[in-house]
Amino acid sequence: MATNAQYLASLVNSSGNINIPVSNGGVVFNNTNTTASPTSTTQNDYETGTWTPTDQSGASLSFTTNYAYYTKIGNMVYCSCAVTYPSTASGAQALISVPFSVNSSAQTYGGFTRYTTYSSNIQFLINVTPASVAPYLLSTGLTNANLSGKRLDFVAVYQASF
């Protein structure tokens, strides 16, 4: 039977990276008594990349995207993007997709505007279905028509559903 040191060494590949061999396995921090996995003390995911923000309002709009980046650490998603709305008269609530599904019991996250050609600073509410951000001015949602031809650069933070 392998010793702990031998087992740990077997997880290191030829590039020097530590690989978790079991799907959804992770690092369990020793700050609770539970040994179940995954738990709220398990760090089981890290990923970074780009994504394609798409219109989720139902109006089938095509955005011009300057950039869109994300980093997911555990179940926390940090994403930022710069999109420009096309010319539109759609009165539907504006909704922009996010890279991962949204935890339905953790809707108290949101986002803020880094830069916009809209006349006011916009905040972003996290929407569960469809997984998206919704631009708001205080308690009022913005429609696609409100954002017609406008550029939105924003940062959003939320909990993913897994």
Partner 1 sequence: MTISSSTVIDKTEVLQDGTIQVRQAEIITKDGVEIARNFHRWVRHPGDTDAQSDPAPVPAIANAVWTSDVVSVYQAQVASQAKV
Q: What is the C-alpha to C-alpha distance for residues 22 and 30, in angstroms, rounded to an integer?
A: 20
Report the site for partner 1 in 3-42 (rule: CB under 8 A). Answer: none
Query: Binding segment for partner 1 among 1-9, 23-31, 53-61, 149-157 (CB under 8 A)?
Result: 53-61
Alpha carbon of 34 to those of 24, 27, 42, 71, 108: distances in Å? 17, 13, 11, 28, 27
Task: Please report how close the Cβ of residue 52 comes to partner 1 at its closest, in angstroms.
Answer: 4
What 8-state DSSP symbol labels residue 29? P
Q: Which of 38, 86, 110, 141 binds partner 1 (CB under 8 A)?
A: 141
Q: Tokens in use for 52?
A: 């394609």
Does 118 help bind partner 1 (rule: CB under 8 A)? no
Binding site residues, partner 1, CB under 8 A: 47-52, 54, 56-58, 70, 91-93, 95, 97-101, 127-131, 134, 140-141, 143, 161
